[in-house]
Structure 1
């Protein structure tokens, strides 16, 4: 069981058996990270000491495109999420404006994908990011993304769903 010690920006600091960790806040109905989305991946995202955000995901058979091969859209979703969490961890509510994904190799059922994302550049409300997906230490996919800080009604909607 984890004990939440404090919330900083949009990351919760807690202590578990491995020590102190910062988990990035989530949106309850999100397909990738939402706890309340019964069809989703339920991935959890953590802030690392270097400021990057990481997650691990074991490929489930229900998300294949071809027999035993992860659907590319699922990998794209995971990469999108790890990159936007790199923005969200600092309290910035943003939305995806553009994303480019490069698929390097197939990923199979039961393999564990280790993903990392980081902000490369920020100009005003626009954040440029990069994401990497690795399986067994080898790069399986990469992505670059552009995220725009939400304002007005959209920002209010995003803030209400944050937990």
Structure 2
């Protein structure tokens, strides 16, 4: 996914989490990063030096597609979630607009997949990013990679389109409210 003419380099927000800091879950019931999802990915994503992050995900038996191998949709979800967390570093809320995934090699169950993602360019509300998943170590063989286009949105995107029960529960969580307020500076 090639950024269009006029796209600029991403800028890390001065209030972004420090390099190496664990970003935490944006929502406890998120399949990608939430701890309340029994069969979720439970990604732990850490801020990088620039507008980049790293994460690790261990493929469990509940994540398989073909016998003994990770489901491609689960691997795509892991990359999507990792790229989606890049908004924390720019202090902006964004949702996936387009995602292209390349599957390079199978990922066996019980394998640790090391993920890295970075914003490559920004143009208006469009955020271009890329991610890679490597088997066994941060410098291990590439198993999966993706490019994505994210679109910045306001928090109302979720409150207007989400289910009332979950919205009320999230807004009752002080961490969720704090995070939402932190992003209000960058609509």
Q: Tell me if 1:154 matches 2:152.
A: no
Query: Please, which moves more after superposition, 128-137 or 49-58?
Result: 49-58
Tell me how far apart the structure 1 counterparts of residues 23 and 48 of structure 2 sit (CA, whole Å): 11
Gaps of 5+ in 2: 1-14, 161-166, 180-187
Tell me how far apart the structure 2 counterparts of residues 110 and 96 of structure 1 sit (CA, whole Å): 28
2:56 maps to what in 1?
56
Q: Tell me if 1:140 matches 2:157.
A: no
Q: How does 1:2-41 map onto structure 2 within 5 Å?
A: 8-9=15-16, 11=17, 21-26=20-25, 27-41=27-41
Tell me how far apart the structure 2 counterparts of residues 130 and 57 of structure 1 sit (CA, whole Å): 17
Q: Deviations over 1:28-77 (max 9, x none)?
A: 11101012222311111001124311101111011110110000000000
Judged with a 3 Å threshold, the aligned counterparts in structure 2 of structure 1 residues 65 and 132 are, in CA distance, closer, same or farther, namely: same
Query: Please, which moves more after superposition, 119-128 or 37-46?
Result: 37-46
Tell me how far apart the structure 1 counterparts of residues 76 and 155 of structure 2 sit (CA, whole Å): 28
Judged with a 3 Å threshold, the aligned counterparts in structure 2 of structure 1 residues 152 and 34 are, in CA distance, closer, same or farther, namely: closer
- Does the Cα contact within 8 Å between 1:56 and 1:115 map onto a contact in 2? yes
Give the number of the structure whose alpha-carbon radius of gyration is greater: 2
- Does the Cα contact within 8 Å between 2:115 and 2:132 map onto a contact in 1? yes
Q: How does 1:104-119 map onto structure 2 within 5 Å?
A: 104-119=104-119
- Does the Cα contact within 8 Å between 1:115 and 1:133 map onto a contact in 2? yes
- Does the Cα contact within 8 Å between 2:115 and 2:131 map onto a contact in 1? yes
CA RMSD of superposed structures (Å): 2.2
